[in-house]
Amino acid sequence: MKTLTTVSTCTAVREQGKHVFEIFDYSKHRGMGIGEFIRSGTFSVGGFDWAIRFYPDGSSTTSTDYISVYLELMKGGAKVRASCDLSLINRSTGLPSLVHRTELRMFNYNDVSRYAPQTSSFQKRSELEDSGCLQDDRLVIECIVTVVKKTTVSETKFLRKIEVPPSDIGERLGQLLEAEEGADVTFSVGGQTFAAHRLVLAMRSSVFKAELYGPMKEGRTQLVTIEDMQPSVFKALLRFIYTDSLLDNDDHGGAVHIEMIRHLLVAADRYALDRLKLICQSILCQKIDVESVATTMALAYQYNCPRLTEAGGLEATQGYKDLKTTCPSALADAFAKGMSSR
């Protein structure tokens, strides 16, 4: 049954404004007294009125060594979500130096939350007077206010999705292999011949690339003979190279199939096909029993298959545990065989 999908979106509508408060004759405002302030002109952002409070001698007895600066919500009875950045302007460079950032919060005119930030220690006075922010007895405070005006939710719509079919490149390459169209190399394996394409083989296997394009390559039309491999194994190897999948097998999971997978693992190791090698290890690990565990273990050690030999692989299978209990000598022989062939 096809599922219809609908979608809606939520967006916060924001408005941002900047106010610059210039304080001339800074030194003459010193000594006004703790808690005494100078208020900037009122400015509007997001439909609300704001002002900056500047306390030359600090806003409380705990901040007498500091100047205090606050953003103040001025509109009576108002509540609004907003954030603000308060900076001092470096008079030498003209660039703002952020002193305090108030993250998005609720401003309520009817209580202390009408002010931000929630600290009176805005800037240490001695540091301010030694900095480039105070020049010609002039101090410039910059305040950027961002107001969240409202939240809008879009109309619900159907999500239109174009169905894209899965890639068929593997199927197409498989057809190319079967048709032998454009084949430029032939392999002789156990009395049977297989036509293939040099470029595809070289792209998938560094070993084939060296053999077909490297300094040891022969003429472009040579017949390449593959020793020590069964035709059925080479056919399965070619199919994997072209399609990235294994041949279908009616005996899937049976003794013949498992034997084929063992031979295919050896071929994958020979031609540096790491993904195929891992697939073979995975299949063998799932099909371990008392009859096969010794052979598989020897193969794992001989061809460096850590996924089979590590904990959680071969040694974690029931077949391995049964063999270890019932016939430890066979297990030791398999281990010795694998180690001696490395």
- 29-73 pLDDT per residue, tens: 999 999 999 999 999 999 999 999 999 999 999 999 999 999 999
CATH number of 11-153: 2.60.210.10
Question: What architecture is the 169-340 domain classified under in CATH?
Answer: 2-Layer Sandwich (3.30)
* Per-residue confidence (pLDDT) for residue 3, from 0 to 100: 75
More confident residue, 317 or 16: 16
Domain residue extents for the chain: 11-153, 169-340
pLDDT at 336 over 60: no
Is residue 296 within 8 Å of 308, Cβ to Cβ? yes
pLDDT tens sequence across 94-134? 889 888 999 999 999 999 999 998 788 999 999 998 888 99
Strands 48-55 and 192-196: unpaired
Structure-token pair, residue 46? 């997001």
pTM metric for this prediction: 0.50
* Per-residue confidence (pLDDT) for residue 47, from 0 to 100: 92
pLDDT band at 305 (very low <50, low <70, confident <90, very high): confident
Which amino acid, residue 286?
Q
* Per-residue confidence (pLDDT) for residue 338, from 0 to 100: 43
pLDDT tens sequence across 146-187? 999 888 888 888 877 777 888 999 899 999 999 999 999 999
Q: Which of 58, 82, 60, 62 is nearest to 71 (CA)?
A: 82
Q: What is the DSSP letter of 166?
A: P
